[in-house]
């Protein structure tokens, strides 16, 4: 872990143009935050509640790193208020730290960035490699977790490590039930956002509202029941590939017994890559659960020209063809949603769409009321 006071320098090249690189360029202490680094959320001198901790990389809070604050917040119901800054560290929230809330103090996710640069193939200090799960900058296993106005990032770059073949580099792995993210950003390349659960038989419900996610290969993936509402997905350009596909936006791995997988609603997909360079999705049937039947509904969303409208879905493995999975769309618009080959774009009927809602997916949990 390096000092949070160091500028990001070359890490600003995570992508050329408007993407993670520009987003992570937070070299200096924001001038507007010097007097009140915690905004309207109090301070160590004016603590909101006994279970509120203040985190500031410049030493004006209770602790200077997010992981130190997580370690100090034992038990349930803690709130962490994060002052502006770049927190270059890995963070893990175990299953015992339930009902936690993290708040970006300025209410602008660009100001609060938690970032590190491990990939699946990165060698571990004690031997071996991290693997996909171990590459995560932030891992949240506890139930009832909520984050607002925070950027979660992994700035590992393929070009810097041509010797590493395990290029998955997770920004956030979230496994808990009732996990909600409001106005957050998730920046990376391959496997950016890992929306998962703690076990094959565990159906974890997750909600992402007004979030921004960018990447290239399977950059939203996992077996959670996850609703993405009002989100923006951004596919990145790639100079290391000569031809499409450059990648895949979604790769759910829903358990067969779970009636609900990923629901994308009232969202949009834009691209920095050439037209039709990306597939919308492919099903992930992991070796740990070959009975998985990935589920995905994309509805009432705008799909930009970066999505291959002719063949938006493809197989991850020919042994598990996408046509046998639970993939469907409903009332999508935009050039990437054009139905040119009907057999390649399964559509819900209006009656089926009545069951493809946030209420159906999340049951008695209503996180949108907390927006």
Whether residue 87 contacts residue 4, with contact meaning beta carbons closer than 8 Å, is answered with yes
Show the beta-strand stretches assigned E in 120-187: 138-140, 146-148, 151-154, 172-174, 179-182, 185-187
Q: How far apart are CA 58 and CA 109, in angstroms?
A: 18
Phi-psi domain of 193 (left: phi exceeds 0; alpha: psi -120 through 50; beta: other): beta
> H-helix or E-strand containing 219?
none
Q: How far apart are CA 2 and CA 249, in angstroms?
A: 31
Whether residue 236 contacts residue 208, with contact meaning beta carbons closer than 8 Å, is answered with no
Residues in the chain: 371
Query: Which among 335, 217, 218, 341 has a CA at the least distance from the CA of 270?
Result: 335
Query: Which among 211, 352, 186 has a CA at the least distance from the CA of 268?
Result: 211
Q: Where are the alpha helices (DSSP H) in the chain?
A: 20-23, 66-72, 131-134, 350-353, 358-362
The residues assigned a catalytic role are: 191, 218
Q: Both tokens of residue 276?
A: 């039709």
DSSP 8-state code for residue 254: -
First-residue to last-residue Cα distance in the chain: 33
Q: How far apart are CA 88 and CA 80, in angstroms?
A: 17
Query: Which among 168, 179, 176, 163 has a CA at the least distance from the CA of 211?
Result: 179
Q: Both tokens of residue 149?
A: 């106005």
Q: Both tokens of residue 358?
A: 């946030």
């Amino acid at each position: 872990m390096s000092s949070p006071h160091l500028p990001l320098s070359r890490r600003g090249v995570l992508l050329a143009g408007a993407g993670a690189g520009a987003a992570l360029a937070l070299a200096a202490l924001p001038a507007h935050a010097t007097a009140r680094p915690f905004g309207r959320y109090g301070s160590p001198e004016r603590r909101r509640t006994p279970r509120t901790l203040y985190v500031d990389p410049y030493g004006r809070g209770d602790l200077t790193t997010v992981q130190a604050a997580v370690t100090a917040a034992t038990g349930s119901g803690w709130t962490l208020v994060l002052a502006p800054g770049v927190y270059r560290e890995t963070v893990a929230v175990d299953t015992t730290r339930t009902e936690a809330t993290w708040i970006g103090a300025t209410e602008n996710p660009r100001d609060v960035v938690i970032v590190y640069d491990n990939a699946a193939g990165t060698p571990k200090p004690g031997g071996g490699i991290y693997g996909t799960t171990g590459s995560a900058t932030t891992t949240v296993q506890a139930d009832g977790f909520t984050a607002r106005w925070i950027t979660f990032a992994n700035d590992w770059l393929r070009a810097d490590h041509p010797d590493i073949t395990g290029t998955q580099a997770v920004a956030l792995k979230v496994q808990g039930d009732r996990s909600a993210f409001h106005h957050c950003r998730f920046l990376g390349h391959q496997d950016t956002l890992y929306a998962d659960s703690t076990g094959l038989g565990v159906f974890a419900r997750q909600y992402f509202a007004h979030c921004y996610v960018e990447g290239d290969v399977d950059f939203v993936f996992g077996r959670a029941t996850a609703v993405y509402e009002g989100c923006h997905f951004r596919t990145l350009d790639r100079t290391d590939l000569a031809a499409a596909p450059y990648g895949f936006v979604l790769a759910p791995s829903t358990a067969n017994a779970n009636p609900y997988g990923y629901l994308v609603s009232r969202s949009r997909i834009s691209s920095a890559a050439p037209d039709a360079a990306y597939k919308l999705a492919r099903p992930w049937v992991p070796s740990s659960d070959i009975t998985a039947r990935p589920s995905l509904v994309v509805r009432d969303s705008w799909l930009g020209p970066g999505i291959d409208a002719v063949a938006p879905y493809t197989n991850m493995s020919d042994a598990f063809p996408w046509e046998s999975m639970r993939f469907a769309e409903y009332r999508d618009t935009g050039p990437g949603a054009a139905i040119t080959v009907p057999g390649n774009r399964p559509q819900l009927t209006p009656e089926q769409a009545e069951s493809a809602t946030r209420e159906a997916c999340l049951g008695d949990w209503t996180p949108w009321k907390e927006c």
